[in-house]
Structure 1
Amino acid sequence: MKIIVNKVPMDVSDNATVADVISGQPYKKGTAIALIRSMEQVKKETSEFEVTTNKGSFVIKIKDGPWLQFWKESYPSLVGKTVRWQTSKVTAIGSFISKATPSREPSKFTKYDCLFALGGYDNRTTYIMIARMDHEASYGVASPIFGRVTRGRHVLDILEETDKVISVEPVIIELSSKDAFATTDISTPLEEGMSVETYVAVKLDNRSPVSVEHFLVALEKGEGTITITDKTESFTASSTRMDVNLVEEAHDIREEDVVTVRHTGPGMGRIYFYQRRRQVAPSHNIIGKICNGHQLIHLAPKGERVTVVPDPMRVMVIGMTQREGMEFLSSRGLRQKRTGLVEDDMVIVEQEPELTIHAIEDGEVETFGTDPSKITTWYLYRDKDPNTVRYIEKMTGLDHKPIGTVKVHFTYEGMPMVTFEGDDSLGAKLYPEPSFGELSRKCDIGVTNMSRPNRGIIGIRLEDSNEFGPTGEEAHGTNLVGRYVGDLSTMMNGLKDGDIVYVRETTVDPDKKVTRKKEPKNGVKKAAVRKRNSPKKKVTTK
């Protein structure tokens, strides 16, 4: 049988399932797939028909019952017919030959009822009549009502004798759940003429580079997928990445298939996929347009994930080696300009420009490399301190790139800790989260919470203390957010105020040696896992 997969016709066996046709297609395991029955098949089963005349169109909804099949066999005969006569009670269109059985039985009619009638009780002169008022009469057929005009009724008021029927077509007002649906079950059998959508393709708009990058980062966080969190008749939306700062960019009429990001107000950061046309909203930046998967994005229910393929893909080489970065950029038709340590095995810790749209427009990306040993590794307590972890992500840039940065706030030889700059306004929202107990250990990472004047300061403990935390605060003023993994002396060697320290996250708990999730393949060597240090018996220094 013939089906269509992502707009491409395919021949498959009669007992084929979804699993048989998704191989080689853009698709992430476990995400939703849309199945849409053939429009021809749906039209065969529709009960609504649009009658187009030279004065306009109106829609007749056909009743279930004995006249349904008769109508489907007869409606093609209406094309080219005219309004033969009108009275105060009915409008008659015809005539044509049918197999209707003559009868003199009267019937009651309500305004806008549609009925079959026989001129002179002869089925060789069959008419379609539309009631213009409530009345009772005999029109040559028993129980002749087959439908009702549901839309375009104003056209009936302007029809005149000799006006012509141009076409009669079955219409699909809205696909029902049996005609189009989303599923994650790849064993679902396929039908003749069915369309399959495995992914949503979005052509990105270069007028909104910041919002486009937000969209691309959200996709990376979802490993190439978007989770559906909101649905209305107008749009489908994803609210998975909301704690962001955006700027006003391109806004326009939100046409069907347009994708936007809200850049201000409630819901800032939410990604919208439009199904209905909506007017300009200054709070929405246009970031692209759907070019595949229109049905999929709107059929997928809340809570489901959908595979999304952006065009262009994100340009991000931070975390790769200089050689890997060169190969990646070359594959995208971009040039590399190496700075810092330029050897092939040096790790890229900064790139300019960072925004994908700007990188493509420039045609060249500057990649700053450093020795892998200069990149510090942090393990973050995502389960215990989610709000403080989010603060760390925003301050370092780890929320949108594999390697982030922190700037040294204060360090001095012999100090039991090193601190890094934070953000006072964001720190004001740092509610107390779990802190250290009887001992703050060497390599503990902490943040001063909102209860202390130096809120937002980030610190690493360089030696154990049973009194003060990584930022020099007591336990009640400290949110313990993670552990430094590796040799502290490597980081501290020559470190001074104002220096930039590069940070990457590990998913391996240095205390339990348990991997939280698979380490991303970003070309950076893993740091050695350091065993927990034994606490000193007496620690009195701050």
Structure 2
Amino acid sequence: MIRVHLDGEIREISERSSLSTLIPGQPAGCAVAIIRPATQEQEKTASITVTTTTGEITIELAGREVDVLERPEAAGSLVLHWTDRYAAAFGPFPSEIRPARKPHLYERGNVILGCGGYDPKTSYLIFSKSRHLADHGADESGGVVGQVVSGKAVLDRWATGDRVTKTEPVISWADTSRSFTTTDPNLVLEDGMLIVTRVEVLAQGYTPERITTEAAGSVEHLLVALQSGKFAVGRATSTHILDQRLVGTDVPSQFKRPRREGTVTVRTGGPSVGGVYIYRADVPSSPAHSVVGQVVHGIELVKLAKEGDLLSTRIVPSRIDLLGLPLEEAKKVAAARGIAFAIDTDGADRIVVSQEPGTTLDVLSERSATVTTAPFEQVIDIELDDARAPMSCDVFRRITGLKEHDAGMMPAFFVFDDVYLFKPKIPTTIKIYPENCPTREVPGAALAITNDSRKGAGLVGVRLSANREFGPTSEPFEGTNIIGRVIDTDKLKSVKERYMVYIREVRK
């Protein structure tokens, strides 16, 4: 027999046992962390954390020795000497640079070793705040000694009187045990191995004893993003892993704090807005990130994860979303979670179409929820075609609410003959590119959305009969993206203009 550690518990298993015999219930496709027994050694990275009176920044050095940064006792000489819209200079201090007396082009975040009056005895560490061309008294190479990789917003807040209070190297742990992630069920286990199968996250504001709602909206985004129970590693860097599946989704900016090892955030601004981040190392807070949780188990899996890995993930608490549930089932869910339940109209043949409060933490904090229901005959089942129109289906789910809930809605806009048009609210930032456009005939009951080639972009339509000339939104074929079909066509016949239509997605 051999002993292994499985998620913190010691297990005795037979020699030559495989991974599948130890964790038969592991979710399909999810990687686990394998850590062979060995010591760890501390390793100095090429990065330095610089603490100033305004905030922290992290500099990734470019390979050149920078004495004033690498000797902690030298930090006292770094006082803000001048700042303008282009750069900020800290010093002076002596150096051995040879100024080239010519301008160089610098990018935002560049850290430059230059001097005043071409005198190396009055050298400065200069931080570029924006792209500019200047002669900072640097050497022939331009003097770029590093790049600010974290805390760039601090550059813009420096003012007279600011100074550097501390510099210290960023330390990582270099694991010498050949640790890795794997999905191989036939991996043979060895004595003393540590196996980590999942990541557990405690949501911001939640403890069994007390619930606060300072981050309720952004936590709800986290619960939606990871409702499948899997974190998809779309990017893995030295400081974080990123799940990009909900990138492009607006998220409220609510709870800003330093991002420590194991901190979970959602991005609230910038190119990856809506992305979920888990941090492998400490970095400063950012106005573009809201803290939504903390890893309480499985940080080893986070640190070892690589791009393309799926990580089994559990968020505490689990989400409370009653939309789309039959009323009787919603009652059972509420009772199991200890939630008082207020209903507009009771009945066995009704479905939940609205819930207040709308976020899990608010419901748990108030210990109550009020739901609006609709009879089953007013809820139309649809089927979406992700295989042929993945981008358009994603847009449709976003604008109808199906991205976050099991039930969505859209207002009826115009009804004529056997054509039903709907006009959900669509943000101006959403683009609908031509995709899965018909070429010969559109079958009856096809569901479509007008693409950006037409003025009516975002209009959703259904035509009950087949047509060889126009799509379901009454646009030419080139302006029509077919996204699926309506299953409950008979229910459409009772739809009238200005009615709110409720929909449910049926998945194959």
Q: Please state which band the TM-score falls in when normalised by the shorter chain.
A: 0.5 to 0.7
Pairing partner for 2:258 from 247, 253, 258: 253
* Pair 1:229 & 2:226 matched: no
CA RMSD of aligned residues (A): 2.6
Query: In 2, Cα distance between the equivalents of 1:435 and 1:294?
Result: 45
Distance 1:188 1:429, change over 3 A: closer
Query: In 2, Cα distance between the equivalents of 1:17 and 1:468?
Result: 58
Counterpart position of 1:181 = 180
Q: Which runs of no fewer than 5 residues in structure 2 stay unpaired?
A: 44-170, 206-213
Counterpart position of 2:222 = 215
8 Å CA contact retained: 2:42, 2:173: no
Structure number, greater radius of gyration = 1
TM-score (norm 2): 0.68
Query: In 2, Cα distance between the equivalents of 1:497 and 1:427?
Result: 27
Query: In 1, Cα distance between the equivalents of 2:22 and 2:427?
Result: 52
* Pair 1:278 & 2:292 matched: no
Pairing partner for 2:309 from 295, 304, 310: 304
* Pair 1:4 & 2:11 matched: no
User: Offset of 1:253 from its aligned partner?
Assistant: 0.6
8 Å CA contact retained: 1:448, 1:457: yes
Distance 1:23 1:477, change over 3 A: closer
Counterpart position of 2:298 = 293
User: Offset of 1:172 from its aligned partner?
Assistant: 9.6
The residue type paired with residue 18 of structure 1 is: L
Query: In 2, Cα distance between the equivalents of 1:428 and 1:309?
Result: 31
8 Å CA contact retained: 1:446, 1:479: yes
Query: In 2, Cα distance between the equivalents of 1:47 and 1:286?
Result: 28
Distance 1:379 1:23, change over 3 A: closer
The residue type paired with residue 35 of structure 1 is: I
* Pair 1:42 & 2:43 matched: no
Distance 1:197 1:428, change over 3 A: closer
* Pair 1:505 & 2:505 matched: yes
Counterpart position of 2:431 = 429
Query: In 1, Cα distance between the equivalents of 2:429 and 2:29?
Result: 38
Where 2:399 maps in the other structure, the secondary structure is helix
8 Å CA contact retained: 1:428, 1:450: no
Per-residue CA shift, 1:169-227, capped at 9, x if unaligned? xx99421352x22221233333333322110000011332222222222222xx31111
Counterpart position of 2:352 = 348
Query: In 2, Cα distance between the equivalents of 1:484 and 1:475?
Result: 19
Query: In 2, Cα distance between the equivalents of 1:286 and 1:345?
Result: 41
Distance 1:425 1:401, change over 3 A: closer
User: Offset of 1:312 from its aligned partner?
Assistant: 0.5
* Pair 1:484 & 2:481 matched: no
User: Offset of 1:470 from its aligned partner?
Assistant: 1.9
Per-residue CA shift, 1:408-427, capped at 9, x if unaligned? 1123xx53312111346549
Counterpart position of 1:459 = 461
* Pair 1:368 & 2:372 matched: yes
Per-residue CA shift, 1:284-314, capped at 9, x if unaligned? 1101000100011221221111100110011
The residue type paired with residue 219 of structure 2 is: V
User: Offset of 1:438 from its aligned partner?
Assistant: 4.2
* Pair 1:33 & 2:32 matched: yes
Query: In 1, Cα distance between the equivalents of 2:216 and 2:444?
Result: 42
Select between 460-469 and 278-287 the one with higher mean Cα deviation.
460-469
8 Å CA contact retained: 1:391, 1:426: no
Query: In 2, Cα distance between the equivalents of 1:395 and 1:230?
Result: 27
The residue type paired with residue 410 of structure 2 is: V
Query: In 2, Cα distance between the equivalents of 1:20 and 1:312?
Result: 30
Counterpart position of 1:474 = 476
Query: In 1, Cα distance between the equivalents of 2:392 and 2:379?
Result: 21
The residue type paired with residue 449 of structure 1 is: N
Distance 1:376 1:474, change over 3 A: same
User: Offset of 1:345 from its aligned partner?
Assistant: 4.7
TM-score (norm 1): 0.64
Select between 4-13 and 238-247 the one with higher mean Cα deviation.
4-13
8 Å CA contact retained: 1:427, 1:455: no
Query: In 2, Cα distance between the equivalents of 1:317 and 1:278?
Result: 37
Query: In 1, Cα distance between the equivalents of 2:472 and 2:265?
Result: 42
User: Offset of 1:391 from its aligned partner?
Assistant: 2.0
8 Å CA contact retained: 1:353, 1:365: yes
Counterpart position of 2:143 = none
Query: In 1, Cα distance between the equivalents of 2:420 and 2:36?
Result: 63
Per-residue CA shift, 1:271-290, capped at 9, x if unaligned? 11111110111101101000
User: Offset of 1:6 from its aligned partner?
Assistant: 1.3
Distance 1:15 1:437, change over 3 A: closer
* Pair 1:381 & 2:385 matched: yes
8 Å CA contact retained: 1:379, 1:485: yes
Where 2:335 maps in the other structure, the secondary structure is helix
The residue type paired with residue 22 of structure 2 is: V
Query: In 2, Cα distance between the equivalents of 1:360 and 1:369?
Result: 21
8 Å CA contact retained: 1:32, 1:184: yes
Query: In 2, Cα distance between the equivalents of 1:208 and 1:245?
Result: 14
Distance 1:183 1:425, change over 3 A: closer
Distance 1:438 1:186, change over 3 A: closer
8 Å CA contact retained: 1:427, 1:450: no
The residue type paired with residue 19 of structure 2 is: V
Counterpart position of 1:163 = none
8 Å CA contact retained: 1:427, 1:456: no
Counterpart position of 1:63 = none
Where 1:328 maps in the other structure, the secondary structure is helix
8 Å CA contact retained: 2:395, 2:430: no
8 Å CA contact retained: 1:321, 1:347: yes
Distance 1:427 1:470, change over 3 A: farther
Query: In 2, Cα distance between the equivalents of 1:292 and 1:428?
Result: 37
Per-residue CA shift, 1:73-103, capped at 9, x if unaligned? xxxxxxxxxxxxxxxxxxxxxxxxxxxxxxx
Counterpart position of 2:197 = 198
Query: In 2, Cα distance between the equivalents of 1:391 and 1:426?
Result: 12
8 Å CA contact retained: 2:280, 2:302: no
Counterpart position of 1:19 = 20
The residue type paired with residue 298 of structure 1 is: K
Distance 1:308 1:427, change over 3 A: closer
Distance 1:188 1:368, change over 3 A: same
User: Offset of 1:499 from its aligned partner?
Assistant: 1.1
